Structure 1
Amino acid sequence: MLLNMMVTCVTAGRLCFKEKTSIVVLCADAQCHIFDATFDSSSHLQSICCQKLACNAKDARILEGDGPCDMAVAYSDRVVRLFRWVPQSKTDKKPGELVLLIKWELAGQVSRISLHSTSKASNLILASQPGGGFAFLQKKFETYESRMCPTLVYHPPRKNPNQNTETRTWLVGDLRCNTAKQSTSLIGLCLADGTLQLISADLHQSEAMWSVSLPVNGELFGLSKFDLTNSDADELAVCCWDGSTYICNQNADILHFPVGQACQAFTAGRLAISPKVNVPVLVYATCEQSTLIFYNLDVNSVPSYSLHNALSNRPDVLEKFAKYHISYSDPIKLRKAIRFLLYHPPRHHH
């Protein structure tokens, strides 16, 4: 499908139909194109709807649920709009249209919107704000200076005298964690200057769990979440202009590697490389007009472990060492035995 205008953002979800996924493409000239993602033809996409919304969309998210499906769209004029898909009757020529429900006006530029869930609410809309702040956008109204306004709950940036308050901020909400001890309302947040944070947040309170400063050469962007290690917990992935990629788990352990090319767009997630099978994937759009897709990411752990630590999970191997009176509780003796087996194994003469 060839579009005659610059595409500014793309999202996917069950917007038009409960039983199948739609792809939504927003263009700089305000056109919104919706396609059927389940269409079988490899040559072109089947168009569901084309509608004019508003110019200069920056990011979009589909709010799936049991009721009507909504789509939140962030724009370059510090505005976020919420649209609802309204099906038409069978006699109409088009299947439906997007209807504007709410328009929020924020104090600063919105680089990213995301969805977040807490113990009391789900599908909360998050909007990033400069300098590390963010806001919850609520679907209700309040009176402000004698007029009705949609409700915003601001979480201001953490005070840091060395930080630019206008630095672009990326965020991703609703991170999964695999232990009951951790908060179930985690947000990942990064600033363009290299700051990466994990935040525990509900509607009215937020607390930084940790904050790290990454040694970046350029701006960070494209903050994403995905379960890289198959641990039922989400890792954070973020990229820099020079292609440097950082993957961080919820304990602030960091895996860093260079891609080797300058990049202008990045995302990570569990995506389908083959039909009906989602695997961890890293996707880069480079400045050399190419797209890089990395899969087969065989990573079991973000931090590296010594062989001595790895043996703690192998009782069968420890039993064999015990037959030779080598105990795991004696690390010096165990280290000598491992070194002997690795570098001076006994030779078998035939």
Structure 2
Amino acid sequence: MRTVSFVERVALEFSGNLFPHAMCLGDADNDGLNELVVGDTSGRLSVYKGDGRSPCLSSSSLGMITCVGIGDVFNQGKNFVVSVSGEGLCHVFFLPWLSNPAQDAPAAEETPQPTAIRPTLQQHIPANTKVLLISDIDGDGRCELVVGYTDRVVRALRWEAGAGDCPENPVGHFVQLKKWLLEGQVDSLSTNPRVDGSPELMVSQPGCGYATLLCNWEPGHPNSNWESEASSVSSEAQMRDVIPHQTSARIQNKNVSTHLIANIRQGDMQGEAVKSGLFALCTLDGTLKLMGPDSLLWSVQVDHQLFALAKLDVTSDGSEEVVACAWDGQTYIIDRRRNVVRFHFDENVCTFCADPEDTARVRELVTELLYGPARAPPLGDKSDVPASAPSSQPSERDA
């Protein structure tokens, strides 16, 4: 195992406490570049652009934010920012095209104040939210909003548009497509392509397990009355479309939390077409596994509590490496050959995400460590890479 140090970094000005899924990277303003979106427990949502150390946009009074996401949740061909609170407040934002404050502001100017933004939509959904996913889960070409809850429930929602619906002024509401009840706590949601290319909804389960959720609703099934739905659907029916899986024949600790990330691309060793459909799992007891559709590709055991996963093609070979982060800041990058590179954040970490687009500096360092300097690709213009927030203030984004 080799160690790498990322010297270049941006320390962001942020105070507050975060839930593990309340930070994400994505193209929030539809300009082709990624922004960092952070939501805290006091109900403040902050958007960071480029190398700016302070947020350029913010919104407050959003409840105790437990998870945020970026995606085309309205199916209008544009990205939106979604914030969901533990109380069940769902806020959706359509952001204006942002300039880079680090480039626009004079060097001697004081820290600019963020521009206040208002949500374009607010809707109540069932409370006790934990994690969300914006993705096409049934193969119809439209994105759904999938929400995981602390009471072992997963719900699939879809936007039902009304007359005059547009990004700046959405008209309509979210309706529920399906509700699943699982045996264990839900810590991660992801989609993975089947052999025929259709998406499969996966959810992590304790003990390094996972479950696949069947998305078999019929047209006209959506239900926006949460209370009547809960009383009319039995627990047996909610669990019927949940297919549990274990990744090992030996008995594992059923109380250890598990995290999952799917749709990991892996190129063939002989240069054949890039394969997808792989997924990785990690646990708090230090287990990290890469799985195929029906087999274990490799397993790694470390002496750190792994709580977050990401995927990055850091070697520029068409294969995505698995990135796993531990509470104490130890972070591992592992390729398909089970080569491992490790780096360490300076502080304990409470939430972690990674940007798959801007990895030039990481790609150079990791490729040289694994394969030698001859394989190192040329540097790009950007160096935004994994982002993490320490468990103490302020939060930090390392590059």
**By the TM > 0.5 criterion, same fold?**
yes
Deviation of 1:268 after TM superposition, in Å, equals: 1.4
**Partner SS for 2:347:** coil
For 1:9, the equivalent position in structure 2 comes to 67
* 1:53 and 2:125 correspond: yes
Deviation of 1:176 after TM superposition, in Å, equals: 0.9
* 1:87 and 2:175 correspond: no
Deviation of 1:267 after TM superposition, in Å, equals: 1.2
Matches within 5 A, 1:1-350: 1-40=59-98, 43-64=115-136, 67-90=141-164, 94-140=170-216, 151-161=241-251, 163-179=252-268, 180=272, 184-201=276-293, 206-216=294-304, 219-271=305-357, 281-295=385-399
**Partner SS for 2:207:** helix
CA distance in 1, matches of 2:357, 2:245: 32
Could you list the per-position Cα deviations for residues 181-228 of structure 1 after superposition, in whole angstroms to 9, with x for gaps in the alignment?
885321111111100001002xxxx21111110122xx2111111212
Deviation of 1:118 after TM superposition, in Å, equals: 2.1
CA distance in 2, matches of 1:196, 1:71: 28
CA distance in 1, matches of 2:97, 2:60: 16
**Partner SS for 1:257:** strand
- C-alpha contact 1:60 1:72 (8 A) present in aligned 2: yes
Deviation of 1:234 after TM superposition, in Å, equals: 0.9
Letter in 2 for 1:186: L
Q: What TM-score does the superposition give when structure 2 sets the normalisation length?
A: 0.65
**Partner SS for 1:140:** coil
Deviation of 1:9 after TM superposition, in Å, equals: 0.5
Could you list the per-position Cα deviations for residues 292-342 of structure 1 after superposition, in whole angstroms to 9, with x for gaps in the alignment?
2223xxxxxxxxxxxxxxxxxxxxxxxxxxxxxxxxxxxxxxxxxxxxxxx
- C-alpha contact 1:189 1:198 (8 A) present in aligned 2: yes
Could you list the per-position Cα deviations for residues 45-89 of structure 1 after superposition, in whole angstroms to 9, with x for gaps in the alignment?
452210000112111111147643211111111000000011111
CA distance in 2, matches of 1:70, 1:48: 18
- C-alpha contact 2:274 2:318 (8 A) present in aligned 1: no
CA distance in 1, matches of 2:245, 2:382: 34
192 and 20 in structure 1: CA distance in 2 versus 1, 3 angstrom threshold: same
Query: Percent identity at matched positions?
Result: 29
Could you list the per-position Cα deviations for residues 217-276 of structure 1 after superposition, in whole angstroms to 9, with x for gaps in the alignment?
xx2111111212222211111111111111111211111122121111111122569xxx
CA distance in 2, matches of 1:139, 1:133: 20
Per residue, is there more strand in 1 or in 2? Answer: 1
* Superposed structure 1 runs of 4+ greater than 6 Å apart: 143-146
Considering only CA atoms, is the larger Rg found in Structure 1 or Structure 2? 1
- C-alpha contact 1:227 1:280 (8 A) present in aligned 2: no
Deviation of 1:127 after TM superposition, in Å, equals: 0.4
- C-alpha contact 2:157 2:178 (8 A) present in aligned 1: yes
CA distance in 1, matches of 2:389, 2:96: 24
RMSD: 2.8
CA distance in 2, matches of 1:176, 1:36: 31
Q: Which has the higher contact order (CA 8 A, sep 6+)?
A: 2
Q: How many correspondences in the alignment?
A: 285
**Partner SS for 1:167:** coil
Q: What TM-score does the superposition give when structure 1 sets the normalisation length?
A: 0.74
- C-alpha contact 2:389 2:397 (8 A) present in aligned 1: no
Deviation of 1:135 after TM superposition, in Å, equals: 0.9
CA distance in 1, matches of 2:297, 2:94: 40
CA distance in 1, matches of 2:341, 2:178: 40
- C-alpha contact 1:270 1:279 (8 A) present in aligned 2: no
For structure 2, the residue ranges without an aligned partner over 5 or more in a row are: 1-58, 100-113, 218-232, 360-380
182 and 211 in structure 1: CA distance in 2 versus 1, 3 angstrom threshold: farther
**Partner SS for 2:292:** strand
Deviation of 1:147 after TM superposition, in Å, equals: 5.4
Letter in 1 for 2:199: N
